[in-house]
Amino acid sequence: MAQPKPRVRVPKKADKGDVVEIKTLISHPMESGQRKDRKTGELIPRKIINKFACVYNGNEVFSADLHPAISANPYLSFFVKVEESGEFEFTWVDDDGSVYTQVSKITVN
C-alpha cells in the first residue's frame, strides 16, 4: 500500500470573525477487517484511520473518531470561526499507530 497522502483546503485569507470552511481528505484504503483475500481466503487485517483532529493556534477546533464503516479515502468538511492569523494542524491516526499530519496557514485581516 502506498503511503497515505493527506490533503487539506484552507482559505489563505479571511476577515476577523469569518466562519471558514475547512476540507480534508486522506488517501487511505480503510480496510474494515471483514473482507477475505481472494487468493488465500484469509481475512484481510483491519487497517483504518480511527482518529482525526484539527488544531487551530493550539486549540482543538474539530475532532472525530472514525469506524470501519467509513469509506476509503475519508473526506471531512467542517467550519471554523477565525479570529487571528495562524496555523491549522491536521492529524490522522491509523490503527497501526502511524500518524499523518498536515499544516496550513491562514491570514486574518
Is residue 22 over pLDDT 80?
yes
State the pTM of this model.
Answer: 0.89
Residue 78 is which amino acid? F
Q: Identify each DSSP E strand in the chain by its residue range.
A: 5-9, 13-14, 19-27, 49-56, 59-65, 75-81, 86-94, 99-108
Instruction: Please state the domain extents for the chain.
Output: 5-35+44-108
Q: What is the pLDDT of residues 61-74, one digit of tens each?
A: 999 999 988 889 99
Question: Which of the two residues, 1 and 55, has the higher pLDDT score?
Answer: 55
pLDDT at 1 over 70: no
pLDDT tens figures, 39-60: 999 998 888 999 999 999 999 9
For domain 5-35+44-108, give the fold: Immunoglobulin-like (2.60.40)
